[in-house]
Amino acid sequence: MNGADIMVHFQENLDAGQKNSIESQLREIEGVIAPRFNKEHLLLIYYNSDKTDSSVFLNMFKSKGYQAKLVGI
């Protein structure tokens, strides 16, 4: 397994329900190990890069109408 971390910045002010929903949806993606919001607008995702990649996450966020982008760790 090749573990990888990415951080995603959301432009929106997300409430607790939105954050929980995003984390739950990410857990349904094969290869996602640990998604969690660690700051107001920042989501950290630990995942198996053999199973999925960051473009899957960004496409999911954009399809839901969120303005999200990868940021350096």
Q: Residue 58: give its domain's CATH number.
A: 3.30.70.100
**Whether residue 12 has pLDDT greater than 70:** yes
Q: What is the mean pLDDT of residues 56-72?
A: 93
Number of domains in the chain: 1
- From residue 28, alpha-carbon distances to 12, 33, 71, 72 in Å are 23, 10, 23, 24
What percent of the chain clears pLDDT 70, i.e. is strictly above it? 97
Stated pTM of the model: 0.91
**73 within 8 A of 7, measured Cβ to Cβ:** yes
Say whether pLDDT at 62 is over 70: yes
Q: What range does the domain containing 42 cover? A: 3-71
For 42-56, write each residue's pLDDT tens digit: 999 999 999 999 999
